[in-house]
């Protein structure tokens, strides 16, 4: 693998994470528990599409095959997608979506803080902009997890259940492979393993405020680094890519 190939894959991975999570969040549009929250969740989906656009555009430039961000989003099969599995899981109830947001945005808080310092100027610039947005996503998710965890018996039960179900997908956030190793040598990529302690501490603290128990260490599901996904990703792509696939000659 050359550094160019690694950078392509790295940008693609970050772009895919944003794209697929935005697809899930946008499903809340006209489905949220009340109007203000409908707007808030849509707002986060919009931030994520913007990030996906920037990352995929960069991936296309690095690759040099004159593929646009839309080509990469709409004409790629699921085995070539590299988003973490947690992004593609169905929304579940509002507690499930908020717990996922908490896990992901806490990770991103640490991740983009580091990526800002990347020696790759484009990644550093996207990271700086992303960090501002992620701070808000994190605050929003944290408030909701605490509010629901410490709300009623039912809401506490739902949050606990979401935490238990999502836990096995959190290990993947910190996984690294040859791509990361190669890019880290030149200070381009973030050492994700180093972020784990901070993440655990912050999540533990927030879950304690929410009266939620931390699951015991257990099996962690993995696969996305090799493009092996859950059964759900194919359905997201079938919907998302429908028009581009059905009318390949059309521009929209």
Q: Does 150 bind other proteins (CB under 8 A)?
A: yes
Give the Cα-Cα-Cα angle 233, 237, 243 (nearest 5 degrees): 170
Nearer to other proteins, 117 or 132 (CB): 132
Nearer to other proteins, 36 or 231 (CB): 36
Binding window for other proteins (CB under 8 A); candidates: 23-31, 82-90, 114-122, 217-225: 23-31
Binding window for other proteins (CB under 8 A); candidates: 127-135, 150-158, 188-196, 215-223: 150-158
Residue that has been written with the tokens 């059309």 in this structure: 250
Q: Does 140 bind other proteins (CB under 8 A)?
A: no
C-beta separation of 143 from 231 below 8 A: no
Six token digits for residue 27: 């499903």
Q: Does 30 bind other proteins (CB under 8 A)?
A: yes
Six token digits for residue 117: 């310092």
Q: Does 74 bind other proteins (CB under 8 A)?
A: yes
Q: Does 66 bind other proteins (CB under 8 A)?
A: no
Q: CB within 8 A of 166, min separation 6: which ones?
A: 86, 89, 96, 99, 100, 103
Give the Cα-Cα-Cα angle 129, 130, 136 (nearest 5 degrees): 110
Q: Does 45 bind other proteins (CB under 8 A)?
A: yes
Calculate the alpha carbon distances from 212 to 11, 21, 63, 202, 224 in Å.
Answer: 35, 24, 45, 13, 28
How far does CA 197 lie from the centroid of its chain? 19
Nearer to other proteins, 45 or 166 (CB): 45
- Which of the 8 DSSP states describes residue 157? H
Q: Does 231 bind other proteins (CB under 8 A)?
A: no
Q: Does 89 bind other proteins (CB under 8 A)?
A: no
C-beta separation of 168 from 232 below 8 A: no
* Residues near other proteins (CB under 8 A): 23, 26-27, 29-39, 42-43, 45-46, 49-50, 52-53, 56, 69-70, 73-74, 93-94, 146-148, 150-152, 154-155, 158, 236, 239-240, 242-244, 247, 249-252
């Amino acid at each position: 693998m050359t550094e160019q190939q690694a950078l392509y894959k790295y940008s693609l991975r970050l772009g895919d994470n944003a794209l697929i999570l935005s697809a899930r969040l946008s499903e809340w549009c006209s489905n949220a528990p009340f109007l203000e929250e409908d707007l808030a969740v849509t707002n986060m989906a919009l931030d994520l599409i913007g990030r996906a656009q920037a990352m995929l555009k960069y991936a296309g430039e690095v690759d040099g095959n004159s593929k646009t961000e839309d080509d990469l989003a709409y004409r790629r099969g699921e085995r070539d997608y590299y988003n973490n599995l947690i992004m593609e899981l169905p929304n579940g109830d509002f507690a499930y979506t908020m717990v996922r947001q908490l896990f992901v945005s806490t990770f991103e808080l640490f991740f983009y803080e580091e990526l800002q310092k990347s020696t790759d100027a484009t990644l550093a610039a996207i990271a700086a902009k992303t960090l501002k947005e992620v701070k808000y996503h994190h605050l929003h998710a944290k408030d909701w997890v605490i509010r629901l965890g410490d709300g009623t018996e039912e809401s506490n039960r739902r949050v606990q259940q979401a935490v238990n179900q999502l836990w096995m997908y959190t290990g993947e956030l910190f996984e690294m492979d040859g791509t990361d190793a190669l890019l880290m040598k030149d200070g381009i990529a973030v050492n994700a393993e180093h972020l784990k302690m901070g993440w655990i501490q912050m999540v533990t603290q927030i879950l304690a405020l929410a009266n939620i128990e931390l699951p015991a260490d257990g099996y962690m599901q993995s696969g996305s680094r090799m493009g092996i996904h859950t059964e759900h990703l194919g359905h997201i792509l079938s919907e998302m890519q429908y028009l581009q696939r059905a009318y390949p000659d059309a521009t929209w």
